[in-house]
Amino acid sequence: MLRVDTIDHRIISCLMANARSSYADIGNVVGLSAPAVKRRVDKLLDTGVLRGFTAVVDPEQLGWGTEAFVEVHCRGNVSPSDIQNRLEPMAEVMAAYTVSGAADAIVHLRAASIHHLETALERLRAVEIIDRTVSTVVLSRLLDRPPAP
């Protein structure tokens, strides 16, 4: 793990605001030349601080407007990597976390419709290591921010 200084943070902020901005533009903001910015970005990508660049889409307009959070309770003792391997092939799984408290994991599902969500939940519950699930359907997205600097 390496040191990420103030200039790196400002470069990351620029790229989070607009991942397609040019190295020259970023350089004007942070006070560096374009090649210097590129060298820092390449290093941040190499070390994994920056994982990549992606487009932010409106799931609603693409027809993936139905979301739910699912508490997953497993039978017996299950390792996090077990759960991870089971969830990875499911396209509807946006994110998953092991958590404190009664549940073993929280799974963030996104689907095209309530019906699609239902089938995804059925497939989730069919996983043998999963004992039971408690799902909470999202009614509206109040806030959705990209990660902070």
Of positions 5, 46, 75, 95, contacts a copy of itself by CB under 8 A? 95
**Binding letters toward DNA, positions 36-75, x by CB under 7 A:** x-xxx--x--------------------------------
Stretch of residues binding a copy of itself (CB under 8 A), selected from 26-34, 46-54, 118-126: 46-54
For residue 61, give the 3-state DSSP assignment. coil
CB of 53 to DNA, least distance (A): 11
126 lines the binding site for a copy of itself (CB under 8 A): no
CB of 4 to DNA, least distance (A): 11
Closest to a copy of itself by CB, 12 or 32: 12
CB under 8 Å to 137, separation ≥6 — which residues? 66, 67, 68, 114, 117
Query: Contact at 8 Å (CB) between 109 and 120?
Result: yes
Which contacts (CB < 8 Å, 24+ apart) does range 109-113 have? 109/67, 109/68, 109/69, 109/70, 109/135, 110/59, 110/64, 110/66, 110/67, 111/64, 111/66, 111/67, 111/68, 112/63, 112/64, 112/65, 112/66, 113/66
Footprint of a copy of itself (CB under 8 A)? 1, 4, 9, 12, 15-20, 47-59, 61-62, 64, 67, 69, 80, 83-84, 87-88, 91-101, 103, 105-106, 110, 136-149
Site for DNA, rule CB under 7 A: 7, 22-25, 27, 31-36, 38-40, 43
